[in-house]
Amino acid sequence: MIPIFIISNRAFTGKNFFAIGLALTLKEKGFKVGYVRPLGKIPIKKGEEIFDEEAVFIKELLGLEEPLSVISPFVFTYETQYKLLEGVDLRVKEKVMNSFSKQSNKDFVIVVGPNNIFEGFALGIDVINLLKETDGKAIAIQHWDSELAMDDIFGIKQLTGEKFIGAVINKVPSEQINYVKEKIAPFIEGKGIKVLGVFKKDKFLEAVTVRRLMEAINGGLVCCENKLDEFVENISIGAMDPETALSYFLRIPNKAVITGIHRTDIQIVAMETSTKCLILTGGMHVNETVTGIAKAKGIPIIVTALDTFTAVDRMEKLMGKAVIREKDKALKAKEIISTEFKIEEFLRKVK
Q: Where are the domains of the chain?
A: 2-205+322-350, 208-318
Note the pLDDT tens digit of each residue in 79-92: 888 888 888 888 99
CATH of 2-205+322-350, one of 2.60.120.20, 3.40.50.300, 3.30.565.10, 3.40.50.2300: 3.40.50.300
pLDDT-derived band at 165, boundaries 50, 70, 90:
very high
Note the pLDDT tens digit of each residue in 221-257: 999 999 999 999 999 998 888 889 999 999 999 999 9
The pLDDT of residue 283 is 78
d(CA 351, CA 260): 59
- Bridge partner list, 36: 111
Could you tell me the CA-to-CA distances from 101 to 49, 93, 105, 122, 348 in Å, in that order? 21, 13, 9, 22, 24
The pLDDT of residue 47 is 83
Q: What is the DSSP letter of 323?
A: P
d(CA 165, CA 153): 11
pTM of the full structure: 0.84
Range of lowest pLDDT (41-50, 52-61, 338-347): 41-50
- Bridge partner list, 8: none
Three-state secondary structure call for residue 138: strand
Q: Which residue has the higher pLDDT, 282 or 281?
A: 281
The widest CA-to-CA distance across the chain, in whole angstroms, is: 66
The pLDDT of residue 206 is 87
**Could you name the CATH architecture of 208-318?**
3-Layer(aba) Sandwich (3.40)
d(CA 11, CA 142): 9
The pLDDT of residue 322 is 67
pLDDT-derived band at 319, boundaries 50, 70, 90:
confident
